[in-house]
Amino acid sequence: MEPAAPLLPQKFGTWQMQAAATTGNDASQIDSTHFTELKEDGFNRFSTAKYVRNGSTLDVRALQFVDATGAAAALSLYRGDHAGLQPLSNGQKLGTEAAGGSGELLFRGGNTLVIAKAPGVQASELQALAVTLPKISGPKGMSPLLPTLLPPKGLLPQSLRYALGPASYTATGGVLPTELLGFDKSAEAVTASYAARTGQGILTLLLYPTPEIAGDRGRAVEAWVNGHPGGLGTVKMRREGPLVLMTSGSFPAEEAQQMIENIHLRSEVTWDKKLQPEFHTEVKKTASLLVSIVVLSGILMAAAILLGLFLGGGRAAYRVMRGKSAATEPEFLGLGLERGPVKGLSGHDGPARSQ
């Protein structure tokens, strides 16, 4: 098997790796505190290294996951650990999504999460590093759909949390008991805070593989909420296909109802088959077909000629072997009138009269 591409390059931009990178595939080696959450997110391998430039040092950790959703969940987890990390603004862009603050930058490129620490580090300095990350395509490279369903109005971006398992959901401040949510059935969860008229409300979105699972888990959550009246503030729930929506916190009832009514699941279709070939490819195929037809026609004509020579020559040889001429005289059919009249041609018995 071909070895996996290195997660971190020897050099990017003006930064040079100080020593060989440390690599491994044990989550506890890279983070002994959150290794359970990393496993839930599909942790695959890691690489850590120090880079130097003009006396400055940059610590970089790269964590690779099975797919992009795992990397997104891990980024959400680490953002929750550091309240000072905020989504990049002012037109800054780094990887697929990023957050920074207090000399630390987190960004995700495909299924790889990078954590870089250095005093005063800027997103622009890490653009060259983001380009070198291993690429992933197809469904595994798609960013999670669930966070994109959050309405932007009133959203506090730093509060967005995305989780793929019970440990991650608890660590990121989920408001529901994890045993109700069905993470063992490939559930995804997003929680986010919104500025409401009477404080802050929390919106929870749960996405399941099928509407049947969503209906079952939605009923379980509803039963639990009814058994704890007032414990979560203003609770409004709705299910749409495989999506379950719930509000809690200090939302006014009308505002909460309007929010969940305006969220709709978008259908996204991925196409992993080969695209239609380009025009010049079609021309080559047509030319190849015509050449094949001409060659086949020539072969059939040559076969007909050889068969004719074989049959004709065989017949001539057979006549010569019987003492006859190889060529034959044409034979004609005749009535044999030279032998006399034929009985019955005159219409009566007796000799026919000559005309």
Concatenate the DSSP letters of all residues of 138-191 into one string. SGGGSPPSGGGGS--TTB-GGG-EEESSHHHHHHTT-SS-GGGT-GGGT-EEEE
Classified as helix, coil or strand, 64 is strand
Q: How far apart are CA 39 and CA 27, in angstroms?
A: 7
pTM: 0.71
Tokens of 7: 């997660």
Q: How far apart are CA 310 and CA 245, in angstroms?
A: 85
Tokens of 173: 């401040």
Q: Which pLDDT value is given to residue 355?
A: 40
* Per-residue model confidence as pLDDT tens digits over 258-280: 999 999 987 655 555 555 555 55
Q: What is the pLDDT along the chain (355 residues), one digit of tens a residue?
A: 667 788 999 999 899 999 899 999 999 999 999 999 999 999 999 999 999 998 899 999 999 999 999 999 999 999 887 767 777 765 678 888 898 887 889 999 999 999 999 888 888 889 999 999 988 888 899 999 999 999 999 999 888 999 999 999 999 889 999 999 999 999 999 999 999 888 889 999 999 999 999 999 999 999 999 998 878 899 999 999 999 999 999 999 999 999 999 999 876 555 555 555 555 566 778 888 999 999 999 999 999 999 988 888 887 787 788 777 766 655 555 666 666 555 554 444 455 444 4
Q: How far apart are CA 174 and CA 162, in angstroms?
A: 10
Torsion of Cα atoms, 302 then 304 then 305 then 306, to 10°: 80
Tokens of 305: 């000629």
Q: How far apart are CA 68 and CA 91, in angstroms?
A: 23
* Residue whose C-alpha is closest to residue 113's, from 7, 266, 3, 21: 7
Exposed/middle/buried for 8, CB within 10 Å: 0-12, 13-18, 19+? buried
DSSP one-letter string for 294-305: HHHHHHHHHHHH
* Residue whose C-alpha is closest to residue 177's, from 219, 209, 229, 225: 225
Q: How far apart are CA 113 and CA 12, in angstroms?
A: 17
Q: Which pLDDT value is given to residue 278?
A: 53
Q: Which pLDDT value is given to residue 93?
A: 81
Half-sphere exposure of 92 (CA within 13 A, CB side): 19
Q: Which pLDDT value is given to residue 347?
A: 47
Q: How far apart are CA 335 and CA 316, in angstroms?
A: 30
Q: In DSSP terms, which residues pair with 117 in a beta bridge?
A: 59, 104
Note whether 114 and 132 are within 8 A (CB). Answer: no
Task: Classify 227 in phi/psi space as left (phi over 0), alpha (psi -120 to 50) or beta.
Answer: alpha
Q: How far apart are CA 126 and CA 114, in angstroms?
A: 10
Q: Which pLDDT value is given to residue 173?
A: 86
Q: How far apart are CA 115 and CA 63, in angstroms?
A: 8
Note whether 130 and 115 are within 8 A (CB). Answer: no
Q: Which pLDDT value is given to residue 137?
A: 85
Note whether 75 and 96 are within 8 A (CB). Answer: no
Q: Which pLDDT value is given to residue 269?
A: 54
